[in-house]
Structure 1
């Protein structure tokens, strides 16, 4: 008999996460501990529940720029090696507790140098934390693997430097590169030298595109820069038209994205907060999934959006009626799109994901 779909049962399902920001997923209690350790006095509250509510409410503005402002506090308390290692280890624990079996977690190393850490020291501290978290989770009988994406901030001029860093550490689970930050006024083409270098080095990269900015952002990310995945990509829906008979027609860019199976790293709750979608019911994920785009479901920032992978799937189940076969499809989509080796992806699909959903499907 098929297991009923609920938040609790979704937590039991193996899940894959491709778009999650390390500095957007801290535990409120850890933020307070870390703030006190470095005498950071600018937190809006030092009560755990109040601080958690503040982050969610402050991010829930409908503006990407306002949403990004909330990161000033999390970044401020992550300026030491110990803090970075702790946050990374707790990230692994929290994801594993939610049933995530593979995750690519991203962050911008350049943001964590205010305390004097070098870029390599930042990366090594985070990687140490991820490995600590994986060992702890394994000792509890759970399975999770973390790959790291290093981000360059698109409003700065350090993308080539960060791309070189990603290549330098790719043999220790740094699996790719990304550019993040405000899209408007900072097109991905500002970073062409970084993307050209990554291609020459046979390295993987995704690009935040099609969230706050429209189709030109997506076109540039794909055709000028060569992105393998699109961070968010929700605005690809602008290239769809419905005719008088109710049939959806794909424009040339949308058809290209679907035909090439370019993964869309969609983050439903986050997209509502930043104004990329007006409601879950109107979120482009519904029509794009129906049209068989390679849709993946992600958290983006678990603290700011007060969300989890299980919570996002529960929300989509309630809104669109998605069942276990749909959730499995989104999960396999994500695993197929991960930046690790083909054999490694296939192993997770065949030995973890499919058996896990077979049990739930009855």
Structure 2
């Protein structure tokens, strides 16, 4: 019997896992943005001392895992599973990083929703009694993503104003069955939502309906209201998608305008850094949560957030065949307090 289910999509954990450590490493452009002081490390060039951008992204993951473990004096042998992924075909950045460890590995593909997806599944594993300590990780890299999904960088193509800048970086959370918080208390798993958008340079508009669907389900099933959260944080909607999300939520009877923010808006100064609509990529929510948001929670400046990472589940093949863009969003409640949940 699924005793932890609240409705069709939401889970309430009986033994909420604690996030005992995080780490975030970013690229040079991200290191020039408004959140630069919240990242553990800023690499000096996109190649990160490697021969290819793909190797660079994998090294970001390897280094970020080690950084998170070092903070709490844990070793790889203390970790039972890695849950993680990236944007690349066959999630090679994560797979190659995992081969440098001796940790059992669940490779995930949820496009830019991977951070919330990994936190969801990692928390389920711990609450279900299958593990005591797991790693959740997500990464992306501007140059690897551009090469795979759009055009070779050498072409210097004009980017439309609706486009977003893929974040270079990696974010890691270490979850444990024991700890003093912040805790993962609820998960609302997303459904695929496709409104027929085919423009791969307008990810915010494509993903906003999926975010709306998941957020609406979360509040319907969890018993929370928007005012119970300090922040409702979406992953990669940026400026255009965030405006659409707020309007769509209003039509569902939800006013999230007072406490909504988006990782793609927070990470860059769009005007000074010429990122157009804002940031995107698995690392967008990965580094903003594991850097900035986690710090706010640990410093007790905020008490509860809803992290809703969003993903566009298209591929170069489907885009070239004229397919529309299926999208998804996963929501995770992260709280310092267990009072309301108990």
Fold conserved (TM > 0.5)? no
TM-score range, shorter chain: 0.3 to 0.5
* Structure showing the higher strand proportion among its residues: 2
Q: TM-score, normalised by structure 2?
A: 0.34
* Structure showing the higher helix proportion among its residues: 1
Per chain length, whose mean CA-contact separation is higher, i.e. which structure has more relative contact order (CA < 8 Å, sep 6+)? 2
Of structures 1 and 2, the larger Rg is shown by: 1
